[in-house]
Structures are given as C-alpha cells and as structure tokens.
Amino acid sequence: MNSSASNWQQDCAALIPCFNEAATIGDIVRTAREHLPTVFVVDDGSTDDSVARAIEGGAEVVRHATNRGKGAALLVGFQHLRDRGFIWALTLDGDGQHAVKNIPDFFRCAESTRAALVIGNRLTECQKIPWLRRRVNRWMTRRLSRRAGVTFADSQCGFRLVNLAALAALPLASDHFEIESEMLLAFAAESWRIEFVPVEVIYKPRTSKIHPLIDTWRWIRWWLTTRPRGAAALKILRPLQEIPVAH
C-alpha cells in the first residue's frame, strides 16, 4: 500500500499517558497535532496543572482520580480510541522524551511492511541513553527476544504505532511500565509483524517516572509470573493483511 492510499490523520490518533507533566504536556500536544489532529491524553491522577495545559494544547482529556500506572492509562486510552472508530494509536510519553518529528517515520514503516506494531528504536543513539537505563533495556530486550523467538531491537520504548484491531484480541492486563513488554510478547505470540524505526534520543535533566528499584522489581515479578506462549524457536511474523493499514 502506498502513502497516497493512507489517511493517517483520519485513522490514527495520538495517545499520551500523563502524570505530573505540566511543564511539557502542552507543547507535546501542540506539536503532535501538527501530524495528527486528534490527541487523547489520559491524565493518571496528576496533582499539578497537567490537565489544564493539555486542554490548552488542544487535547481531549480523561482523568483518573488517583494514580493507577502507565499501563492502566494506556489500556483506558486504547479502549477509548477503538470506541471512537480509530484504526491506529500512536503512543508517546508526556515528558518530552520522544521527538514528535519522528511520527511520519512510523507511518512509512507501517505502510511499507504492513506491521501491526511499530516501535521506536533508541539504541541507534545508545550513547545518549544513561548508562544504567541502557544496560537494563538491553538485558530486558535479550530476555524478551529469547522468550518470544523474535529478535527485538528496543523492547522498552513507549513511542509506538499500534493497530487497535490486532490489539483488541490480546489479553493485556499490566498496570505499570511492564505494559510495553507484555504488549510485545502478546503481538509476537499471535505472530503479528513487529518492526522498529530509529528515533531521536532525548533525555532531559529531570527525575524519571521510572523508579529504578520498584519498577525493575515489578518487571521481574511480572516476568516470573508470565508463562511463555508458543515455541521459543525463531519465528516469522505475519504481516497485517486481513486488518487494513489505513483507508
């Protein structure tokens, strides 16, 4: 399918989980709307002005009364976009870590490969990633690749283009940051094609929402309680055919 047959502005919406990102969320929404007119923010119990800043930027916002976790926010957002009739969701973080200018690269990749899931690959600029986060990412990525029988490039990047029809059949339940790993294994288990596109690495001098001890332990606990699905041998993932890429 060539780019002229696609209507990403109609079929895709940006989805941003947000927790206390008043300093950045407004600008992210405004710049994302240059590529996608519909931007949906799930505010996960913020105690600052995130909601007001997101609305000022032009986003539609749903708000959790309390902080429930990134995974919970994404699942609420995915369901909302499916109910609205969107075919795709473009997920990105609210802290400015993802370069909005890379959004068209995801569309081109989906069109050329018919992948059901396209993920940003930050490891092409790995020297810009803090040492500990880079090591943890690679450690998790190796383990997920072995379990899935698929070679992954960057398993933890939240900058993703997700086909909502393919996603709807997957049993996702994670409430926190392990949602990215769970989604990856679930798409691979169903043999949906997964692709990676290089994205710019942006790290700012501010505290990460990922707690190095709590969230790593939560991921390990999830890993230990998740049963492998399918054979461990390397598999060939099927392209998205029966589900349309875009109108």
Residue 229, φ and ψ in degrees, nearest 5: -115, 120
pLDDT on residue 239: 80
What span, in angstroms and rounded, lies between the C-alpha atoms of 23 and 91? 19
Strands 60-64, 39-44: pairing is parallel
Fold of 3-204: Spore Coat Polysaccharide Biosynthesis Protein SpsA; Chain A (3.90.550)
Contact between 186 and 110 (Cβ < 8 Å): no
Long-range contact set of residues 137-141: C-beta below 8 Å, sequence gap at least 24: 140/181, 140/219
Partners of 63 in beta bridges = 43
Write the DSSP symbol of residue 70. H
| CA proximity to 78, closest of 173, 6, 190, 208 | 173
Contact between 66 and 20 (Cβ < 8 Å): no
Write the DSSP symbol of residue 177. T
What span, in angstroms and rounded, lies between the C-alpha atoms of 14 and 2? 22
pTM metric for this prediction: 0.85
pLDDT on residue 224: 78
pLDDT on residue 1: 36
Q: What is the pLDDT of residues 127-138, one digit of tens each?
A: 666 666 778 878
In total, the chain counts a number of residues equal to 247
Residue segments in the chain with a per-residue pLDDT below the cut of 70: 1-6, 124-132, 203-215, 222, 227-236, 241-247
Tell me which residue has tokens 């069109």. 111
